Amino acid sequence: MAKDISFYNFTIRGKTYNEPHTGQKKVLQSNARYKVVCCGRRWGKTVMAVNTLLEHAFANSNHTYWYIGPTFRQAKTIAWKFLLSRLKMFPKEYQKRIKINETNLSIELTWNGSVVELKGVERPDNLLGVGLDGVVLDEYATPTYGSYPIWEEIIRPALSDRHGWAIFISTPRGYNHFYELFEKADSKTNPDWEAWRMPSKTNPVMTNKELESARRDIGDDLFSQEYEAEFKKRSGLVYPEFSRDIHIIDDDKLMKLISPKWNLEVGVDFGSAHPTAGLFVTFDHIHDNAYVVDEHYQSMWTVSKHAGAMKSIEDKWLAILKRKQPRVRWGDSQGKQIIMEYANEGYFLTPTLKGKDSVDQGINAVRRRLNNDIITNKPKLYVARHCVNTIREFENYVWTGMDDAAIETNEMMRLANKRKDAPRKIFDDAMDALRYVIQYHSPMGETGIRRERRKPVNPITGI
C-alpha cells in the first residue's frame, strides 16, 4: 500500500479525522472473513465501505473488488460521489494513473491492475461470471437483497477461487434476511463470521444533542431502529398480529400433536425470478387449527423440478397422516397455463377463486386465525419453526406506501401497487400460498369446497 496515502482525512465542524473512528476500527481489525455490521444512521458505513475497498485495491495487484448497493442508481448517487471525492484527495501522481469509467462506475489502478466497481443488486444476472477478491454489500436489509438469494447463488461462489472476503452492512429493517444473517454471524459457531451492532453514537461526529433531537422528532420506537441499530417489528405490516413467541411452534412439539385424523392442504404461488412458494398446511379435527408444517421456496426452477420437490414433501407428510393424497392443492388461477404444465407432471392444482375483493378477504381470513379465538384464547394458525421463509415473509409483508426505502424495479409491480391499500408485491410469495389455503378451507365437518363460490368440474384439477 502506498504509505503517503491517507484514506481517512476529512473535516467536520472544524475537527479533522485522520483515521477510522472507534466503531469502524473494531470491524476493520477483525480477522473474520465475513463481517456483518448492523449500524445506526450516519455511522459512516459508506465511508468505511469505500475506503476499505480502496485500501485493498492499492495494496494488492490484479484484484477485483465490488461495492454493491440496492440499485445501480443508488450506488451511483451515494458511493460513487464519495469515491470520486476520495480520489481527488490523493496526490496528483496517483490521480493521473487512475482510469475512471463513469458509465460502468469503475476505477482501475493502472500501476497494479486492481479494479473497484460499483454494482446494483436489482438485476442479479449482471452480477454473474466474475471472480471477486472482496465485496461490500451495502444497505443489506433492503427488500431487493431479500427477494433473490444474491449471496448464496452469486456472490459467495464468486469469492471461492480467490478466497475473497465480504462485508454486509446496513441499518436494520425488521426481522428479515439481514436479521437472520446477523444472528448467524453473531452465534459464533463459525470462525469465518463475526457480527457487530453499532449504534450511531459510536461515530464521534454524532453529538448527544443531535441524537436527543432525533429521538424527540421520530419517537422512541423508530429511534431505537434507526439510531440504536436494534431489530424491531416493521410498521405497516399486513399481519401485525404475527408474533414469533405466539405463532411459531417447535418441530418436536408439532410432531407430538399431529394425528392421522388431520388433513393436509397445499397452496402454491407460482414464480420465476421470484420464488415459487408451496405451503403445506394441516388442520386438526377438533379445533380446526391450521399448522404450516412445511414449505417449498425456490427460484429459477423448471415446473418439473418444482412438482417433484413438492410431491416429495407431500409424501413425507401423507405418510405421517396415513393418507393417500392431500385434501386439495390450490394454485393461482391467473397461471392457467402453468397449472396445466403441473398437471402434465402429474401434480394437479385447483385454480383459486378470484373476485373483486378476494385478496382482502383472504388477508382477513388469515388475520382472524392469527388473533386469539374467543373460546380457547389461543390463535388458530401456527408455523413450524423450520419454515424460515414463511416466517420471514410474515415479518416483512407490508402495505403499499409503508416502506419508502424499498425499491420497485418491475413494471408490473408498479402497476399492481397503484392501489394504495394493496400489499406490496414483495415478500408475498409464501403469503399468497398461505392465503389460498386459509381463504378457501372448509372445516373438516363440511364436504367439498364452498359451493356458494363455485362448484369445480373436477375436484382435483378444478377444470
Closest Cα to residue 424, out of 247, 232, 432, 358?
432
Domain boundaries, the chain: 10-226, 244-440
Cell of 37: 455490521
Q: Residues of 207-221 as b/e, b for ≥16 C-beta within 10 angstroms?
A: eeeebeebbeeeeee
Cα dist from 202 to 137, 208, 233, 356, 371, whole Å: 21, 11, 24, 51, 40
Cell of 16: 479533522
Give the list of residues 6+ apart from residue 71 with CB closer than 8 angstroms, or none. Answer: 120, 121, 122, 144, 407, 409
Cell of 317: 407428510
pTM of the full predicted structure?
A: 0.64
**Spelled out in words, what is the top-level CATH class assigned to the domain 10-226?**
alpha beta
| 244-440 CATH pick, 3.60.21.10, 3.30.70.980, 3.30.420.280, 3.40.50.1970 | 3.30.420.280
User: At which residue does the C-alpha cell 394437479 appear?
Assistant: 348
Task: Answer for the pair 396, 176: CB distance below 8 angstroms, yes or no.
Answer: yes
Q: How far is CA 156 from the centre of its chain?
A: 16
Task: Answer for the pair 214, 223: CB distance below 8 angstroms, yes or no.
Answer: yes
* Helix (H) / strand (E) containing 381: strand 381-384
Per-residue pLDDT of the chain (463 residues; tens, 9 = 90+): 455 565 665 555 555 556 788 899 999 999 999 999 999 998 999 889 999 999 999 999 999 999 999 999 999 988 999 999 888 888 888 888 999 999 999 999 999 999 999 999 988 888 888 899 999 999 999 888 877 788 998 999 999 999 999 999 999 988 888 998 999 999 989 999 999 999 999 998 889 999 999 999 988 878 888 999 988 777 778 998 999 899 999 999 999 999 999 999 999 999 876 899 999 999 998 889 999 999 999 988 999 999 999 999 999 999 999 999 999 999 998 889 999 999 999 999 999 987 778 899 999 999 999 998 887 889 999 999 999 999 989 988 888 765 444 333 333 343 344 444 678 777 789 999 999 999 999 886 544 344 344 444 554 455 4
